[in-house]
Amino acid sequence: MVFDFSSRVNLRRTTIAFPPTQAAFWRLSMGAASEDPAGTGSVHLQYKDLKLDVTNLQTGAFKVESVRGRTGQERKYEAQYDHYQVPAAEMRLETDAEARTVVHLGRVNLPLERLRLTIDSPYYYRRVEVWTAEEDQPGLWQCRYGGFVYHIPGMPAPETLLVPGLGRQRWVKLVIDNGDNPPLALTGVELGWLRRELFFLPAAGRSYALYAGNPRVTAPSYDTAHLIPYRAATADQLPALSVAEPVANPTYDAKAVLNPAEARARQQRYLFTGLAVLIALLLAGWLVKLVCAGQPQAKEPPPPGEGGVA
């Protein structure tokens, strides 16, 4: 309940407390808690041990000038990014037929959520496109993002950050549209992606191995995703484990069956292939038999002494 009688006495209550919740949207419905159907201009209010009678009440439209919300102490949290500086030896720059600079980054195989270029040119304004491909072949490249890098006089620092927001990409190249300007003095490219953290509940006396890198594996669904709250409030309070250097899995089998659905799909694929081969063989045999049946049969010569001179 909210009320305001400050025009008569120093009495008001305009604050409502809610229990903690994760709701994203709120709606407040307000209505009269006490009415004056007789039109006497008086209202009787009782709140806890306080009793109040208001007379000569002036009725009018209910007006809300503003609504302000307040939460607990806000904890500032900045997203943490991991970065990878593309080695200069792996960067290959060339100019295409349209005078654009093509920067080949090679086989990156990393997320492309952020890209930061290091440019030594003084002032510029250029469009940069991000092209990706599964294999380094001319017909497989696709333009996935376009943005601008610029350094205008009066700026304290150049703006060279691009935010493609792409996941893991294998082959990557940048295409810089130079227009009629000379190429930029590009000296470095840094990749950045939002840090992913793995939460799990370890058991005492056990060791754990983390397997990664198989593109056919889908993300698992664990109860842990619902048991551990949002990272910003809990990550600093949980113990962290360091990961050793990655090593190749000697038992990795690229043709291994990952789940029952894949096993059924593979079985159906093999069955369809075998059926198609069987039908092809039957059709080939039928065609051969048809061709042989349509050829004229050679007549055998008559035996000596029949129909001829001996």
Are 20 and 123 part of one and the same domain? no
Give the residue, 47 or 195, on which the prediction is more confident: 195
- Per-range mean pLDDT, top range of 43-52, 158-167, 271-280: 158-167
Whether residue 116 has pLDDT greater than 80: yes
Share the mean pLDDT of the chain: 80
Question: 108 and 160 in contact (C-beta within 8 Å)?
Answer: no
**Do 172 and 88 share a structural domain?**
yes
The stretch 136-144 carries a mean pLDDT of 92
Residue 112, pLDDT above cutoff 70: yes
- Give pTM, 2 decimals: 0.53
For position 147, what pLDDT does the model report? 95
Asked if the structure places residue 100 within a domain, the reply is yes
Say whether both 106 and 154 belong to one domain: yes
For residue 103, pLDDT beyond 90 = yes
Lowest-pLDDT choice from 61-75, 90-104, 174-188, 242-256: 61-75
Distance CA 272, CA 266 (A): 10
- What average pLDDT does this structure show over 177-201? 89
DSSP E strands in 134-260: the ranges are 142-151, 161-162, 166-177, 186-194
Q: Is there a domain that residue 48 lies in?
A: yes
Evaluate whether residue 220 is within a structural domain: no
What's the pLDDT band for 252 if we cut at 50, 70, 90?
Answer: confident
- Indicate if 111 and 50 belong to the same structural domain: no
- 90 and 56, same domain (yes or no): no
- Average of pLDDT values for 46-51? 64
* Containing structural domain, residue 36: 1-61
Domain assignment present for 155: yes
Q: Both 85 and 188 in a single domain?
A: yes
Q: Are residues 5 and 52 in the same domain?
A: yes
Among the listed residues 185, 102, 193, 167, the one whose alpha carbon sits nearest the alpha carbon of residue 141: 102
Q: Same structural domain for residues 47 and 95?
A: no
Domain count, the chain: 2
Domain shared by 96 and 175, yes or no? yes
Amino acid, single-letter form, for residue 61: A
What digits encode the pLDDT tens for the residues 49-102?
666 666 655 555 667 778 887 776 655 656 778 899 998 888 999 999 999 999
Residue 310 pLDDT > 50, yes or no?
no
Q: Look at 267 and 155; give whichever has higher pLDDT.
A: 155
Read off the CATH number of the domain in which 185 is found.
2.60.120
In this prediction, residues 180-190 reach a mean pLDDT of 94
